[in-house]
Amino acid sequence: MKGITVMMTHLSIEDPDDGCPLLPQTVGDASPMPVFHRQYVVTKTDSRDFLSRNENLALSLLLLIGCYSAILIPAYFPLDTGSSLSNDYQQPKDLVLLNHSASLLSVPCQPHWCLNRLRTLACCANLLDIPVFVQAERPWDLSPPQGLHGVEEHLALALASLPQPGLPSWLKGEGSCRRCVVVGSGGVLHGTHLGSHIDQYDVIIRMNNAPVPGFERDVGSRTTIRLVYPEAAPDSAIEYTKTTMVAVVVFKGLDLDWLTSVITKQPLSFWSKLWFWREVVESIPLRPENFRILHPEIVHKARQVLKKYGLKQGHMPTLGASTVVMALQLCDQVSLAGFGYDMQQPHARLHYYETIRMSVMKSQVVHDISAEKLFLRDLVVSGVVIDLTGAI
């Protein structure tokens, strides 16, 4: 019982009612440790342990946050390594391009420049004297987009809605010399500051929904002709504020119905809308006389030329290549801006208006980019056209 008595000597147990000890005090040979001393020792030890756990918890949280930041920040805010490096590297090149562009504009327009040089190219003899816009019905041997066979009824309705289906008077001007620029969507335009130069051309041609507002510094602010098909027409009215003409490229009969609807302000039926592969714009703020139908002979002749450069079986020319062929019919001098895909730089911008990279072009199977690059390069080397951005 002595061992039990020694343990109890360290307890201070009192009756809560009268404060008297419930157990008798036992006097031993050794002096018992005061209760408050034992309490002090225990309290000090607990405090030290508690602070250590706080420090460990704080350190663990910091490490955890650091690890998550290293993983999540690049995912939500990807580093644009391609553009950040290329912008610094290309700065001298941009100055060269600007100086070259300025020197071209300082020289008077040279009449028949493209036509005279195009005649010397064996590949391109059939690119002369092609009609630009459809202005009358006639027998068609090929289906869209190389002809209008099978969509004659749709064409008749569209032509009936066009007050002036052929070339407008301002593009017929005899004796005048026209300088044109075809503005592509290539990422090479990003950061060039060519916008003020582009705006000085007589005819500025753009394609599909490549935006202008917000990118004027690099691509200019005016649009003379915008070539579109319904699914790729800009859906914002502001894109048409400085646009003179919209020309529709026909890939199917329904494209002509869409044009008729836009001109006459008569909506398409619900059933017709279902056949477009994406939602199409229903209204374009231009007058009826400002619409045209691109002549399918343009696409057909562009495809014939590209076959000589190894165009893959079944492939069609891009709208960019067809637009260049169209420009050769309209203009005395033609410059290109934003053309050329450099597949050796997979991290470069594909388009000037978004951060999609060049590497995605490897997965496209609709167009033969290699054949088109050879074609455009021949045009540049022979002096038929001028490459303002140096990517061809």
Element (H, E) at 179: strand 179-183
pLDDT of 189 > 60? The answer is yes
Q: Are residues 9 and 117 in the same domain?
A: no
Please, is 154 exposed, middle or buried when counting C-beta atoms within 10 Å of its C-beta (0-12, 13-18, 19+)?
A: buried
pLDDT of 51 > 70? The answer is no
Residue 175 pLDDT grade (very low, low, confident, very high; cuts 50, 70, 90): confident
Q: Are residues 37 and 93 in the same domain?
A: no
What is the average pLDDT across 224-241? 97
Asked if residue 280 belongs to a domain, the reply is no
Q: Are residues 93 and 15 in the same domain?
A: no
Residue 124: CA count within 13 A, CB half-sphere: 28
pTM as predicted: 0.75
What is the average pLDDT across 242-262? 98
Amino acid (one-letter) located at 178: R
The domain containing residue 8 runs over which residues? 1-29
What per-residue confidence (pLDDT) applies to 176? 86
Q: Are residues 340 and 307 in the same domain?
A: yes
What per-residue confidence (pLDDT) applies to 172? 82
Percent of the chain beyond pLDDT 70?
73
Contacts of 65 (CB under 8 A, 6+ apart): none
What per-residue confidence (pLDDT) applies to 86? 36
Residue 168: CA count within 13 A, CB half-sphere: 17
Q: Are residues 121 and 190 in the same domain?
A: yes
The 3-state secondary structure of 228-282, one letter per residue: ECHHHCCCCHHHHCCEEEEEECCCCHHHHHHHHHHHHCCCCCHHHHCCCCCCCCC
Residue 351 pLDDT grade (very low, low, confident, very high; cuts 50, 70, 90): confident
What per-residue confidence (pLDDT) applies to 9? 43
What is the average pLDDT across 144-172? 95
pLDDT of 235 > 80? The answer is yes
Contacts of 88 (CB under 8 A, 6+ apart): none
Q: Are residues 372 and 359 in the same domain?
A: yes
What per-residue confidence (pLDDT) applies to 36? 42
pLDDT of 298 > 90? The answer is yes
Of 218, 228, 227, 208, nearest to 338 by C-alpha is 218
What per-residue confidence (pLDDT) applies to 354? 83
What per-residue confidence (pLDDT) applies to 62? 74
What is the average pLDDT across 342-366? 69
pLDDT of 25 > 70? The answer is no
What per-residue confidence (pLDDT) applies to 66? 64
Of 208, 180, 223, 184, nearest to 385 by C-alpha is 180
pLDDT of 206 > 50? The answer is yes
Asked if residue 184 belongs to a domain, the reply is yes
Q: Are residues 376 and 297 in the same domain?
A: yes
What per-residue confidence (pLDDT) applies to 365? 53
**Cβ atoms of 184 and 337 closer than 8 Å:** yes
Asked if residue 153 belongs to a domain, the reply is no
Asked if residue 374 belongs to a domain, the reply is yes
Task: Please tell me the distance from the alpha carbon of residue 94 to that of residue 31, in angstroms, as a whole number.
Answer: 93
Of 193, 196, 184, 21, nearest to 105 by C-alpha is 196
pLDDT of 15 > 50? The answer is no
Q: Are residues 237 and 376 in the same domain?
A: yes
| Alpha carbon 2 to chain centroid, angstroms | 91
Mean pLDDT of the chain: 82
What per-residue confidence (pLDDT) applies to 112? 93
**Cβ atoms of 90 and 191 closer than 8 Å:** yes
- If one compares 299 and 88, the residue with the highest pLDDT of the two is 299
What per-residue confidence (pLDDT) applies to 22? 43
Which DSSP symbol is given to 21?
B
Residue 49 pLDDT grade (very low, low, confident, very high; cuts 50, 70, 90): very low
Residue 71 pLDDT grade (very low, low, confident, very high; cuts 50, 70, 90): very low
Domain boundary among 78, 110, 141: 78
Pairing of strands 385-387, 243-248: unpaired
Backbone angles phi, psi at 140, to 5 degrees: -120, 135
Quote the tokens at residue 27.
């006097």
What per-residue confidence (pLDDT) applies to 7? 43
Asked if residue 329 belongs to a domain, the reply is yes
Backbone angles phi, psi at 36, to 5 degrees: -70, -30
For 370-387, write each residue's pLDDT tens digit: 899 999 999 999 999 999
What is the average pLDDT across 147-172? 94
pLDDT of 18 > 70? The answer is no
Asked if residue 142 belongs to a domain, the reply is no
Asked if residue 114 belongs to a domain, the reply is yes
Domain count, the chain: 3
Residue 101: CA count within 13 A, CB half-sphere: 25
- If one compares 187 and 83, the residue with the highest pLDDT of the two is 187
Q: Are residues 60 and 105 in the same domain?
A: no
What is the average pLDDT across 27-50? 44
Q: Are residues 111 and 182 in the same domain?
A: yes
**The CA-based dihedral angle spanning residues 102, 104, 106, 107, taken in that order and rounded to the nearest 10 degrees:** 170
Q: Are residues 19 and 37 in the same domain?
A: no
Task: Please tell me the distance from the alpha carbon of residue 176 to that of residue 111, in angstroms, as a whole number.
Answer: 8
The CATH number assigned to the domain holding 220 equals 3.90.1480.20
* Range in 54-63, 111-120, 123-132, 217-226 the model is least confident about: 54-63
Amino acid (one-letter) located at 279: E
Q: Are residues 199 and 98 in the same domain?
A: yes
What per-residue confidence (pLDDT) applies to 130? 96
Asked if residue 286 belongs to a domain, the reply is no
Kindly give the interhelix angle for 253-264 and 152-161, rounded to the nearest 10 degrees.
Answer: 20
Please, is 260 exposed, middle or buried when counting C-beta atoms within 10 Å of its C-beta (0-12, 13-18, 19+)?
A: buried
Backbone angles phi, psi at 14, to 5 degrees: -125, 155
**Cβ atoms of 285 and 237 closer than 8 Å:** yes
Residue 6 pLDDT grade (very low, low, confident, very high; cuts 50, 70, 90): very low
